[in-house]
Amino acid sequence: QSALTQPPSASGSPGQSVTISCTGTSIDVGGYNYVSWYQHHPGKAPKLMIFNVDKRPSGVPDRISGSKSGNTASLTVSGLQAEDEADYYCSSFAGSSMLFGGGTKLTVL
């Protein structure tokens, strides 16, 4: 049950786009389309941003998008805004367990 691999940090200027990767294996990210992404502002409850690889819940803007290729999923935040600064975590179904990535701190410069 190893954690999924995310870069520890990412950054971009307002208006730019940033992509965060999430790498797993063929028995988790690569084996199912059950990848989700969460935004977490410290001290608050995490918020679902993407589910089923590329689906957005109601209320999440369309400048947030997800994709997957092989064992790597990605989250793209376009048109960066100050409120996008947060920690982002990917998650994947892994059969008998659920896995999270180590988290990526997104900084809006």
Partner 1 sequence: EVQLVESGGGLVQPGGSLRLSCESSGFTLSSYWMHWVRQAPGKGLEWVSRIKSDGSSITYADFAKGRFTISRDNAKNSLYLQMNSLRVEDTAVYYCVRGNWVYWYFDLWGRGNLVTVSS
Q: Which residues bind partner 1 (CB under 8 A)?
A: 1, 3, 32, 34, 36, 38, 40, 44-48, 51-52, 55, 57, 89, 91, 93, 96-103
Min dist. Cβ of residue 42 to partner 1 (A) = 10
Min dist. Cβ of residue 14 to partner 1 (A) = 26
- Cβ neighbours for 57, distance < 8 A, ≥ 6 positions apart: 48, 49, 51
Residue 83: phi and psi, rounded to 5, are -75, -5
Min dist. Cβ of residue 18 to partner 1 (A) = 18
